[in-house]
A and B are shown apart, each in its own frame.
Chain A
Amino acid sequence: MNEKDIRKTLCGADDEIVGRLTGGALTDQEKERIYTMSRRKLNKMNSSFVNAGDQVSGVERDTRPAWRRYAGLAAALVIAGGAVVGGGAFMLKGLSGGSAQFAEITESAPAEETEAETVAPETEEAAAAEIINEDAEPASDEVTETADLVDYQFQVNRLTNMYIDYAATIYGRGLEVDKSAPVEKTVTDINGNETTITFYHVTDERYRTWDDVITRGRAIFADDLADDIIDSWNCLEEREIDEDNNVDFFFRNSDGWYIQAFLIDEKLPNWDPKWLEEEPVLTVNEDGTLSTTLSHYLLDSDDKISTDFVIGQVDNGMSDNWRILSFEETYIEAEE
């Protein structure tokens, strides 16, 4: 019996055997992800009064978030990192029952550039007055709040734009590669069939090495979320491909990293991902984090992905400490 036989022998086992294969089947993160999905589906079923029996038979609609479906196995950006959902859908970490008091910022918040021009002088004047006259009133709350809003809007704009650019680029859009010397890797599936996969060496100045990918990820996401996303991409060392007989979309060696050719040649060249909303509408949460929801079209389709972001400050000892703390995608089918 060889390694492949282990899988084939156990496949289709009866309940008694299956019951003994449960230990360690899932990581805590996977369990939470599945729990979140399950609760979301339950909420949907409850709210639409769908009879569970109706969903059992027939072909099931694909409800996976777009990145997961399109990117296949390497489910990069669909991880709802850090967002533990309790009794309902789309709740922020640490909150339950939707009891957070939201102070919604609407279109009354002026555009970023204009705001910066009008706020700064007032703030400086107020600060100067305070120094000169000890009895002077401190800068008004309104001025402080406005300055904060400017900064919040800036951070949300900046990080959400970095997010979409990063996501698209890592999966091949606009990524510089060397097509003149493709590299092939052969893996064997459990049926003994060999599959040859072609890769291109990435020559993009922005991401010369996989470490550059990691660095960029950590500039956008909180460290643990960045690590989760990058881990899920499973960029193996080249020697691990042979040892594990497995490879996903990327691998790396001392020359840098490589991306599957089909992503460059077939999947993303005609896609220009951008947010459909001109300006993110943000909400300031009680805990000081910011929430916003943005959407973009799925590739070559009228279907959309709506992404809920939570953005906040992390303790990294740097002045640049705003990061995406969590995000969650929802697939929205186009109306017929």
Chain B
Amino acid sequence: MDINEYAALRTESPDKACRALFDEYCGYVYAVVYNKLGACASSEDIEECVSDVFAEIWFGFDEKLAGGDIKGYIGTVAKRRAINRYHALHARSAASAATTDDVLGTFSDGTDIEADADRAEQQRILLSCIEELGEPDSTMIIQRFYYSRTSKQIAKMLSMKPSAVRMRIKRALVRLGELLRKSGMNG
């Protein structure tokens, strides 16, 4: 859905527009928020943040603000909300210094361009290797090690038994290691 389609749908039916936007971008917003908060927030905090993002987008949508790029706009709102939520959580929790530094360390401050480029390249290689595993293994790896879901939760999502999920993940990790070594990363 591009910005014109959303604007037109909004005129026709605000409810339908909200739903359509949500259905298309929910996964993306969740991924953006999780990317920032996954290491330090509970799943409830992350879901709350995602809902804040959509409420803000629906309430304050302005075609001019979006500048023609609806996905970019959504991503920006999501990142901003996630960072605010991070600060809110950090302000009232007794997070360990190690956790804080580790989270902040993942946010590039833009001063070390070479390090940022290396990191981005590592991310691209890793993700490409994960995708090369094929489904459902790539989904399992991402759900288990990025979204920290349990085998039981993954099994429910994929209509499999938890024991089967665990077995496949173990095998997928071995294959992933081989793929990473082939691509020059330390598997």
A contact residues vs B (CB 8 Å cutoff): 1, 3, 6-27, 30-31, 33-35, 37-39, 41-42, 45-46, 51-53, 55-60, 63-64, 68-69, 72-73, 75, 86-87, 190-191, 193, 231, 234, 236, 240, 243-244, 246
The closest CB in chain A to the CB of B87 belongs to: A59
The closest CB in chain A to the CB of B72 belongs to: A15
Please, which residues of chain B bring their CB within 8 A of the CB of A27? 153, 156-157
**What is the CA–CA distance of A53 and B80 in the complex, to the nearest angstrom?**
11
Please, which residues of chain B bring their CB within 8 A of the CB of A15? 32, 75
Please, which residues of chain A bring their CB within 8 A of the CB of B54? 34-35, 38, 42
Given A1-B186, A53-B60 in contact, is the A60-B85 Cβ separation under 8 Å?
Answer: yes
Interface presence of B4 (CB below 8 A) = no
**What is the CA–CA distance of A57 and B87 in the complex, to the nearest angstrom?**
10
The closest CB in chain B to the CB of A16 belongs to: B124
Can you report 19 A-B residue pairs in the complex whose CB atoms are below 8 A from each other?
Answer: A8-B102, A9-B126, A11-B38, A16-B124, A20-B131, A22-B27, A30-B47, A34-B26, A38-B22, A38-B51, A38-B54, A42-B54, A45-B59, A52-B55, A52-B59, A68-B44, A191-B102, A240-B152, A240-B162
Interface presence of B122 (CB below 8 A) = yes
20 new A-B pairs (CB below 8 Å) besides A240-B151, A246-B148? A3-B145, A6-B126, A7-B38, A7-B146, A9-B119, A9-B123, A9-B126, A10-B146, A13-B120, A17-B123, A17-B127, A18-B31, A19-B28, A25-B30, A27-B156, A42-B59, A52-B60, A57-B84, A60-B84, A60-B85
Interface presence of B94 (CB below 8 A) = no
Please, which residues of chain B bring their CB within 8 A of the CB of A25? 27, 30-31, 34, 147
Interface presence of B68 (CB below 8 A) = no
Please, which residues of chain B bring their CB within 8 A of the CB of A3? 145, 173
**What is the CA–CA distance of A9 and B28 in the complex, to the nearest angstrom?**
19
The closest CB in chain B to the CB of A20 belongs to: B127
Number of A-B residue pairs at CB separation under 8 A: 186
Q: How far is the CB of A244 from chain B (nearest CB, A)?
A: 5
The closest CB in chain A to the CB of B108 belongs to: A12
Interface presence of B166 (CB below 8 A) = yes
Please, which residues of chain A bring their CB within 8 A of the CB of B123? 9-10, 13-14, 17
Given A9-B126, A73-B43 in contact, is the A38-B177 Cβ separation under 8 Å?
Answer: no
Whether B127 contacts A24 by the Cβ 8 Å rule is no
Given A25-B30, A25-B31, A42-B18 in contact, is the A7-B58 Cβ separation under 8 Å?
Answer: no
Interface presence of B133 (CB below 8 A) = no
List residues 109-158 of chain B with CB under 8 A from any CB of chain A: 119-120, 122-124, 126-127, 130-131, 139, 141-143, 145-148, 150-153, 156-157
Whether A37 contacts B48 by the Cβ 8 Å rule is yes
Q: How far is the CB of B1 from chain A (nearest CB, A)?
A: 15
Whether B187 contacts A1 by the Cβ 8 Å rule is yes
**What is the CA–CA distance of A243 and B164 in the complex, to the nearest angstrom?**
13
Please, which residues of chain B bring their CB within 8 A of the CB of A34? 26, 30, 47, 50-51, 54
Whether B43 contacts A22 by the Cβ 8 Å rule is no
Interface presence of B63 (CB below 8 A) = no
The closest CB in chain A to the CB of B125 belongs to: A9
Please, which residues of chain A bring their CB within 8 A of the CB of B87? 59
Q: How far is the CB of A87 from chain B (nearest CB, A)?
A: 5
